[in-house]
Amino acid sequence: MLRTRQGRTEAADTSRSTSLALREPQVEAARAALARAEAQLADAQLNLDRTVIRAPFNGRVRSETVDVGQNVSPGQSLAQLFETDEVEMVVSLSAAEATLVEDLWNKRAGNDDIRIPARVRSDFGGQRHDWTGYVDRVEGVLDPSTRTINAVVRVPEPFAADGRPPLLIGSYARALIDARQVDGYFGMPRPALREGETVWVVGDDATLTTISIRIIQEIGDSVFFAADIPEGARVVTSDLAIMTEGMAVSPDQGAQR
> pTM score > 0.85 for this model?
no
Q: What is the enclosing helix (H) or strand (E) of 216?
A: strand 214-219
pLDDT value, residue 15: 59
- pLDDT tops 80 at residue 238: no
Backbone angles phi, psi at 66, to 5 degrees: -135, 160
- Going by C-beta distance under 8 Å and a sequence separation of 6 or more, which residues neighbour residue 196? 212
Domain spans of the chain, in order of start: 23-55, 83-177, 186-249
Is 209 in a helix, a strand, or coil? Answer: strand
CATH topology for 186-249?
Answer: 2.40.420
Q: Do the Cβ atoms of 61 and 79 come closer than 8 Å?
A: yes
**Domain 83-177 in CATH 3.90.1530:** no
Higher pLDDT, 256 or 73: 73
Higher pLDDT, 244 or 166: 166
Alpha-carbon Rg of the chain, whole angstroms? 40
Q: What is the pLDDT of residues 15-65, one digit of tens each?
A: 556 655 667 778 888 889 999 999 999 998 988 887 778 888 888 888 999
Starting at the edge strand that comes first in sequence, how are the strands of the sheet with 255-256 ordered?
208-212, 198-202, 234-235, 255-256
